[in-house]
Structure 1
Amino acid sequence: MEKTGKRSLTLYFIAALITYFSLHIVLRILVSDSLDYDEAEQALLGQWLLPGYTEQPPLYTWIQYGLFQLLGKSVLAVSLLKNSLLLLTYLFVFLSGRKLLNNDRAAIMAACSLLLVPQIAWESQRDMTHTTLVVCGAAAVLWTVLRLLENRSFFNTVLLGIFWGIGILAKANFFLFLLILFLTLLTFRRGRKLLFSKQFFFSFFIALCLSSLYLYWMYTHQDIVFSATGKFKQAVEMYQVKGVTSFFINTFLFLTPLWFIYLLFFPSGYLGKPAAKKKFSARFMLRYSLFFVLVLLTVVLLFKVSYVKDRWMQPLLFAAPLVFFTRFDVNTITRKQFNRFISVIILAAVAVYCAFSLRVLGAPMTHRYCRLNYPFKELASDIRKDGFTRGLIISNNRFLAGNMHFQFPDSQAVIPGYNFEKLVDSAVFSHAAVIWKINDTSPHVPKQLVSYLQKQFGINSIDYPVTVHEAPYKYSTDDRVRMGVLLFRLQ
């Protein structure tokens, strides 16, 4: 009877997860047919299937490319991928919780706790791509490692290799997660046995095979790969103080309001002791958290990083709920405590829905518009009236390029600096449209585009007329977006 109850609770939880993320897909489609910044980047990159694209690994784009082929260039294809990865992340945290806690109710609370982490519950839903994938990969690897510690079966070994490869192909900070996890394993006898086992090396071989194409691309395109180093803010003076302070402050903010809700509902998690049968789980997750601090501080000091962005810590701190629930005997959690905690989770879920809607629908009241308010459909309609129906789209901004590619799906879009123009079959297209946003009163072509047109196509932009199109932001009647368009024939 007890097992049946646990099974029912687990099924209800999975059904709730599927419902929650399905509603997010519906909401995203209804709110706007425009793309946010990272979504537009995927629309731009997803025109081709390549071994590498930018400084970010290519797996997210590969999957997005496949969904574009299956579902067409649509918001549905974009949102389906994002929400599927988020659903899997919550599920993997739940599965890890079952291994560590041996209590389905506590495992559900640990997974649901991710809704109390704004970077995961809100930012990942709002506009993140590679980070969403790497968190999912890290959560999958943690679960698989916990399985391997119990049973080094062939299936678990292959599973670890696949998830390991996914992480490598997701985002570079996955290697920080691996380092922290491996250091944690080294401190336990069975962890060391796993690390130096033939099964572990076979998993590594699988991961290497899966990522070999990209790793070779990295070797031959180091200029692109290491262009991301400019994202690290480095201070010449007082970098130690600034970097360390930034790390601790942003870690605290990352875990807010999670830590406060835990304090209200489960104060014993801060003061109590874990159950005797679960001391390994407690020690494992505690050492994971200690190595998280040590590794991040080492990175900050070694590379003179003065500012640690909270999103960089997502594939590391997703495990924070698991750390907390291993710190006390979860069998003491009553049904009343569970129900109250889930009530807070439901409120958090509703708050995310409301916030996602209001940032777009309520923008006219504050005159602060987000990218989903851009009226690309209306602007594209005006451009069609100018005579451009398909061809090469050129922009100085990946946000504009990706969105306009969606509006003209039979066209191809490029931006300066990516060399994607080499992939365009010039024999297919006879016309080109140069598109940019006008931020002031001057409709002149931006300097970056002027030099790009001269270098790549041998045309002088001043010889061509510029048309200015404008349309009100979505859900607004007053504030408008102005866009400059220059059309020319391809030679």
Structure 2
Amino acid sequence: MSAIPLQSPLRSVRQLASENPGLLFVLLYFAFQVVFLTIISNGAGVDDAEQLAYVGALQWGYGGSQPPLYTWINSVAGDVFGIRMSTVFLVKFGMLASLFVSVYGGARLLGMRKAVAAAGMVGVFLLPQIAWESQRTLTHSVGATTGCAWAFLAFAWHMKSRSSLSAALLGLGIAAGLLGKFNAGFFLVGLILAGLSVPAYRAVLLSSKSILTLAAFFAAVTPTGLWALSHMDNLLARSHKFQINEGGQFIVSRLHGEWKLFLNGVLFSGVALVFFAVAWWRSRAQQITPKAGLTDGETFLGRVLLFALAAVFVGVLVSGAAEVKDRWLQPVLFLSPLYLAMLLGRYIASDVPLKRFAIVGALCGLAVIPILAVNILYAYEGGAPSIGQLDYGKLYAATRADGHYVTVVSDGPQLPGNLRLYDQSLSPIHWEMPNAAARIRFPALFVWFGEAPNPVVQGLMQGAGVTNPPTDIKHITLGYKYYPDQTKAVSYVVIPAR
């Protein structure tokens, strides 16, 4: 029996590069970002600090109106790789890489050509909210969009496989989107409605195997749903940002919300639309009228976007939300570059426009690398340098010199999360955590920005049984790593075991 030749890793990479250059680019891109940003970063920003504060605590829900998927993944990664910035970046960019790959895989499973799938995948870099904001600061929005991409991939696989396994995975994929962030529900509604609107897919969705889809979905979301019902204050903690019925204006608030949906929808996909229009115009001499109609996959793709946007429209109309931010549309419109690529591939005879669309997307992604590095190191936010550049090491050394503590308590996650980078055994507590005061264990460090008393921190002290406000509060001035002339005041007190 002849031996089966094994491909060398280098040969495997060469094969991947020749057959799927877009996939190789995406994987290398995000791997580089993990290493590069770990090297240049000093500490965590607000969103990442919140994740550091929760790492290691696997719960059915957390504070701040956010579902738990992203935090679950961070917690597991923290247990495996340790609580450090490299882990934070590994989770974020690993999820973003899986988002891009899921777009490609879903497109291929729906029957689209490799050139269309690759252009649609790399074209996601033409969406600034994903290419820029998701890399710069966002967390739960990354989880929501990635979860929706998993659901898209699972749907496409189920339509092709039609097996019990694929049916169950579709339920888990839909659950992942909803557990990523609640606004993913609009895309998931669009996904199901679009599937039901295509006869071939409707037959699959209405088959007996869909019982497994429903079972997997409810098994995944029910514990968190029950947790949310019992913690409504935490669930609705940030509902004010929707500006529902702002100023008591029933009609005006809805009109304003629909206008923001239209405006931010156009802005969200604006860069992709511009380069699509350029490619379409430059290739007008090669435009064709296809002999065959749209395939089921192509029809489904267009209807997903249409029904998802319609779901948002109805949601704004019913709720009276006057604010629809562009980042909230991430899980709704992340497939728009794939749809544009599908149009180029269908109505233009040559693949040149698709290649140009992909190349521009790749160039936009590459441009983000140096710009993001400069932003992390030198950008100002609210009139001050980035909060992640504070000298948290100095704060940790000063507080440890004042005494032993096992818990770090503050009015926000910024300080507890970053102090945990220096001692993974610390238990961070901040006011958005459910039952925050009951979680405090002494000895405890109470710390906050500014020199004036902090009423939120004082409330947490009282809730933990500290009836007499401490008088030995200390103050420290922290500098910024790349702006040593800029400083920020921090107050703290260590309260011993009781």
TM-score (norm 2): 0.88
Aligned twin of 2:6 = none
Contact 1:134–1:315 (8 Å) recurs in 2? yes
Q: How big is the shift at 1:137?
A: 1.5
Aligned twin of 1:187 = 197
Q: How big is the shift at 1:336?
A: 4.6
Aligned twin of 1:450 = 458
Contact 1:101–1:330 (8 Å) recurs in 2? no
Aligned twin of 1:128 = 138
Aligned twin of 2:302 = 286
Name which of 35, 38, 58 aligns with 2:47. Answer: 38
Name which of 338, 341, 345 aligns with 1:325. Answer: 341
Aligned twin of 1:489 = 496
Where structure 1 has 5 or more consecutive residues not aligned to the other structure, the ranges are none
Q: Are residues 1:79 and 2:79 paired? A: no
Distance 1:313 1:156 in 2: 27
Aligned twin of 1:265 = 279
Q: Are residues 1:408 and 2:423 paired? A: yes
Q: How big is the shift at 1:266?
A: 2.9
Q: How big is the shift at 1:7?
A: 6.4
Q: How big is the shift at 1:364?
A: 7.7
Contact 1:285–1:326 (8 Å) recurs in 2? no
Distance 2:328 2:311 in 1: 13
Aligned twin of 2:312 = 296
Contact 1:360–1:369 (8 Å) recurs in 2? no
Q: What does 1:51-200 align with in structure 2 at a 5 Å threshold?
A: 51-54=60-63, 55-100=65-110, 102-200=112-210
* Farther off after superposition, 207-216 or 82-91: 207-216
Contact 1:273–1:329 (8 Å) recurs in 2? no
Aligned twin of 2:59 = 50
Aligned twin of 2:241 = 231
Aligned twin of 1:28 = 37
Name which of 470, 484, 487 aligns with 1:477. Answer: 484
Distance 1:149 1:64, change over 3 A: same
Q: What does 1:302-381 align with in structure 2 at a 5 Å threshold?
A: 302-330=318-346, 332=348, 334=350, 336-363=352-379, 368-381=384-397
Contact 1:274–1:327 (8 Å) recurs in 2? no
Distance 1:266 1:8 in 2: 27
Q: How big is the shift at 1:197?
A: 1.3
**2:468 partner letter:** N
Contact 2:119–2:338 (8 Å) recurs in 1? no
Where structure 2 has 5 or more consecutive residues not aligned to the other structure, the ranges are 1-13
Aligned twin of 1:246 = 260
- Per-residue CA deviations over 1:31-66 (Å, capped at 9, x if unaligned) read 213111111111112242222112222122222111
Distance 1:11 1:224, change over 3 A: same
Distance 2:381 2:143 in 1: 34
Q: How big is the shift at 1:365?
A: 13
**1:395 partner letter:** S
Distance 2:87 2:74 in 1: 7
Aligned twin of 1:395 = 410
User: 3-state DSSP class of the match of 1:85?
Assistant: helix
Contact 2:288–2:349 (8 Å) recurs in 1? no
**2:136 partner letter:** R
Distance 1:372 1:255, change over 3 A: same
Contact 1:103–1:331 (8 Å) recurs in 2? no
Distance 1:36 1:178, change over 3 A: same
User: 3-state DSSP class of the match of 1:150?
Assistant: helix
Aligned twin of 1:433 = 445
Distance 1:450 1:390, change over 3 A: closer
Distance 1:290 1:378, change over 3 A: same
Contact 2:164–2:212 (8 Å) recurs in 1? no
Distance 1:423 1:350, change over 3 A: same
- Per-residue CA deviations over 1:364-392 (Å, capped at 9, x if unaligned) read 8997412222221222222233x235422
Contact 2:148–2:184 (8 Å) recurs in 1? yes
- Per-residue CA deviations over 1:252-277 (Å, capped at 9, x if unaligned) read 110121110111123469x8656626
Q: How big is the shift at 1:177?
A: 1.4
**1:455 partner letter:** G
Distance 1:468 1:450 in 2: 16
Distance 1:136 1:378 in 2: 37
Distance 1:468 1:182, change over 3 A: same
User: 3-state DSSP class of the match of 1:478?
Assistant: strand
Contact 1:134–1:170 (8 Å) recurs in 2? yes
Query: Could you tell me the percent identity over the aligned residues?
Result: 24
**2:463 partner letter:** K
**2:278 partner letter:** L
Distance 1:336 1:368, change over 3 A: farther
Aligned twin of 1:216 = 226
**1:420 partner letter:** A
Distance 2:426 2:225 in 1: 31
Q: How big is the shift at 1:301?
A: 1.1
**1:37 partner letter:** V
Distance 2:381 2:175 in 1: 46
Distance 1:273 1:482 in 2: 66
Distance 1:365 1:422, change over 3 A: closer
**2:138 partner letter:** M
* Farther off after superposition, 131-140 or 186-195: 186-195
TM-score (norm 1): 0.90
User: 3-state DSSP class of the match of 1:470?
Assistant: strand
Distance 1:18 1:355 in 2: 20
Distance 1:336 1:174, change over 3 A: closer
**1:378 partner letter:** K
Q: How big is the shift at 1:437?
A: 0.9
Q: How big is the shift at 1:395?
A: 0.8
Aligned twin of 2:8 = none
Distance 1:392 1:363, change over 3 A: same
Distance 1:279 1:474, change over 3 A: same
